[in-house]
Amino acid sequence: MRSSIFSVMKFVVVVVILIGLGVGGYFAYRHALRFLREAAPLPVSETTPAGQEVIVTIPKGATLSQIGAALQEKGVISNRLVFRLVALIRGEQRNIKAGDYALKTGSDAGEVLDQLISGKTIIFSLTVPEGYNIYQVSDLLRQSGIMSRQEFLTLAKDPAFLKEVKVDGGSLEGYLFPDTYFLRPSEKSDGRLIIGKMVQRFYEVYDKHVRPTAEEHGWSTNEVVTLASLIEKEARASEHGLVSAVFHNRLRQKIRLQSDPTVIYGIKAMGEKITREDLNRKHPYNTYQNMGLPPGPIACPGKASLIAAVKPADVDYLYFVAKNDGSHQFSSSLQEHNRWVNLYQRNSKTETQ
């Protein structure tokens, strides 16, 4: 009797299990079928062909669902549900890093997930060469698609903006530190932010390497940056300290600086040939006509020129002339200088003091 009851119970249990499996399997089948229908690859549109590079921004704190939706919207993946499933199966849903990514349309969900986990976001670089003036920087920003030339030049002389970025001068000239700046795509359209980065970098270098010495001698930031800009335009290689010494010695002895780049600042493009008419043109920056430093910088000096402006070499040179190899010949007397001018600059402008 007991064995019969036991057998019946076993049978009932088995039946219940089978029914449960059947019902569960039925619903699982229905969900799977629904998932497969939703996850079926969608054709990449004709306007977004497969293999095309697009930029996708993954915001900080975005959910897996939001990330999948963004990827599908840009055509990177065929279906956001597949992406979510892959991320959940691999347990990587919390390892995706925010940022801007260069991804290709029609990509495999697993490969895309690998890129988002790597954190290798796309960045743009902008290089400001040493010695560029604001007019050259304006062209650089225009060519990079950041802002128009006029928009930049207006900001460069706007008192309110200068106060905002803490530039105590008449323009941004000299305060846009020459360096390579790495920008996220979202930053590329914000010209004010990029300018702010340049000025911030300037003060990082100036405060650490220049300001203490400048304050010790009572030199204002504008004076130091102005002198550094002249050094930047004149010096070659390791000559910064020597060129600085020449300018310091001339200032001390009240001799005109006679720096060629000041003659054409704001009038001609840097590098253009200087004529006698240029030398005789009267304007505030012409150090052939005016005593002392010009009213402001004529270019953006690099670190070496900024340091040299407050730490000139300990020499008594008053003159230098360009040699044929790109460097300069330095002299302490006019007589000696004229000999070098005659040797190196026979066909150049008339000797000047």
Identify the pLDDT of residue 46. 46
90 contacts 113 by C-beta, under 8 angstroms? yes
Same domain assignment for residues 256 and 320 = yes
User: Distance (Å, rounded) from C-alpha 220 to C-alpha 293?
Assistant: 12
Nearest to 287 by CA among 307, 269, 266, 264: 264
- At 353, is the secondary structure helix, strand, or coil? coil
pLDDT over 90 (residue 95)? yes
Same domain assignment for residues 195 and 258 = no
Return the exposure string of 87-122: e unless at least 16 CB atoms fall within 10 Å of the residue's CB, then b: beeeebeeebeebbbebebbbebeebbebbeeeebe
User: Distance (Å, rounded) from C-alpha 54 to C-alpha 66?
Assistant: 17
Residue with structure tokens 């304050």? 215
- 104 inside domain: yes
Q: Which residue type sits at 350? A: T
Of 43-47, 69-73, 232-236, 259-263, which range is least confident? 43-47
Same domain assignment for residues 330 and 294 = yes
How, if at all, do strands 319-322 and 53-58 pair?
A: unpaired
Count of CA atoms in the C-beta half-sphere (13 A) of 177: 19
Same domain assignment for residues 242 and 298 = yes
Nearest to 321 by CA among 285, 353, 298: 353
Q: Which residue type sits at 265? A: Y
Give the domain-ending residue among 91, 118, 145.
Answer: 118
Identify the pLDDT of residue 44. 46
Identify the pLDDT of residue 43. 47
42-56: average pLDDT: 67
- Tens-place pLDDT, residues 290-300: 999 999 999 99
Same domain assignment for residues 111 and 142 = no
- At 319, is the secondary structure helix, strand, or coil? strand
- 26 inside domain: no
Using alpha carbons, list the distances in angstroms from residue 143 to 134, 148, 195: 14, 9, 15
Of 56-70, 260-274, 308-322, which range is least confident? 260-274
- 96 inside domain: yes
- Tens-place pLDDT, residues 233-256: 999 989 999 999 999 999 999 999
168-182: average pLDDT: 94
- 259 inside domain: yes
Same domain assignment for residues 105 and 142 = no
pLDDT over 70 (residue 217)? yes
DSSP state of 317: -
- 38 inside domain: no
* Own/partner long-range contacts of 213-218 (Cβ < 8 Å, ≥24 apart): 213/310, 213/311, 214/310, 217/310
Query: Total structural domains in the chain?
Result: 3
Instruction: Provide the whole-model pTM.
Output: 0.72
Same domain assignment for residues 185 and 144 = yes
The CATH number covering residue 108 comes to 3.30.1490.480
Left, alpha or beta for 271 (phi > 0: left; psi -120 to 50: alpha)?
left
Range of the domain at 95: 53-118
- 156 inside domain: yes
- At 121, is the secondary structure helix, strand, or coil? coil
Please report which confidence band the pLDDT of residue 10 belongs to, taking 50, 70 and 90 as the band edges: low
User: Distance (Å, rounded) from C-alpha 65 to C-alpha 58?
Assistant: 12
Please report which confidence band the pLDDT of residue 4 belongs to, taking 50, 70 and 90 as the band edges: low
